[in-house]
Amino acid sequence: MTNTISKPNTVSSAEEATFAFGGPRGSAHALGDIGNQTIIFRSGKVLDSIQIGEALYGGSKGGHPQQATLPADGRIYLSTLQAGYINGDLVINYFEATINGTLIKSGEPNSNTTMLRTNTFVILSKITSGDYIDSLEFTIAS
């Protein structure tokens, strides 16, 4: 079992560093300004969907929902990510972050795959999804 972690971009002072975590499948959705919007994570054993405002990424609106309101700058304190396999596809199975003071723990961690602990401020910049959330891309916030 191999998790896909993209190599962080090399940056100059005018650019921002990004990283992606998760599997290679799904449709990519670049996110613009997501500040001040409600974000809802729905999960069972894996991260089923993320809804930002009215936009839904991933599967259905099923699963256990957890929500927060993003701050104006969209920054979240990302703690932990984990990817795991479901039906042969690598997807996000655990997400943990503090968003505007609200602790979000979505999905179920397991001991079979590597867990990424970041403990840093990031801005969610891209969601890749199909039936589930396949991967997430973040910009490291300054």
Give backbone dihedrals phi and psi of 112, rounded to 5 degrees, phi first. Answer: -90, -15
**pLDDT for the residue numbered 113:** 86
| β-pair partners for 76 | 122
**pLDDT for the residue numbered 41:** 97
Question: What distance separates the 2 farthest-apart alpha carbons in the chain?
Answer: 42
**pLDDT for the residue numbered 21:** 96
> What are the structural domains, with CATH classification, of the chain?
18-26+34-140 (2.100.10.30)
More confident call, 11 vs 40: 40
The upper half-sphere exposure of residue 37, i.e. CA atoms within 13 Å in the direction of its Cβ, equals 16
Q: Which of 113, 55, 127 is nearest to 81 (CA)?
A: 113
pLDDT per residue as tens digits for the range 51-92: 999 999 998 777 899 999 999 999 999 999 999 998 899 999
Q: Which two tokens stand for residue 52?
A: 């930002």
**pLDDT for the residue numbered 7:** 42
Cα 105 to Cα 87: distance, rounded to the nearest angstrom? 23
Torsion of CA 64, 69, 71, 72, to 10 degrees: 130
* DSSP for residue 73: T
The pTM for the full model equals 0.88
- Assess whether pLDDT exceeds 90 at residue 111: no
Q: How far apart are the first and last CA of the chain?
A: 33
- Assess whether pLDDT exceeds 60 at residue 13: no
> Amino acid letter at 77?
Y
